[in-house]
Structure 1
Amino acid sequence: MSITQHYLLDTCRAHQHGDPAPPGPGAHDWHVARELRDYRQFRAVPAGRPARGRMRQALRRWLRPRTRSTC
């Protein structure tokens, strides 16, 4: 049974029982990806691994500003 068929079956059952329809397949993929990334970054701190990602880049920009040429 494919994901789409399973979703349609769940939607039909929910409608028959008067329950709200389940979210469609792939509706929360980006949210799950962000949660996983945040969890991995959080677990890196107690493990003593260096910070990675946007925070590290922001700190680098703040501590080492680029010198602009005056041409």
Structure 2
Amino acid sequence: MDKTVLAMLELADHATPAAPLTIDHAHESMQVHRACSTDHCRRKALAFNTLIAAGRIVPDSSRVRE
């Protein structure tokens, strides 16, 4: 995992990324932003939704997301 400083800073940003996330980038974003809430961190929310759409995450049916 050889990343430039610029790539690491972009990954750490909580804003919505300019381009759609790949599945690998979504997994990486979920790891980096594990302490963030999907309600407050747009990058984690996008990563979460990307992984749901790809069938990599199945949300808990007892939880309600708005």
TM-score (ref. length: structure 1): 0.26
* Larger RCO (CA within 8 A; separation ≥ 6): 2
Give TM-score scaled by structure 2 length: 0.28
Please identify the structure whose Cα radius of gyration is greater: 1
Q: Indicate the structure with greater helix content.
A: 1
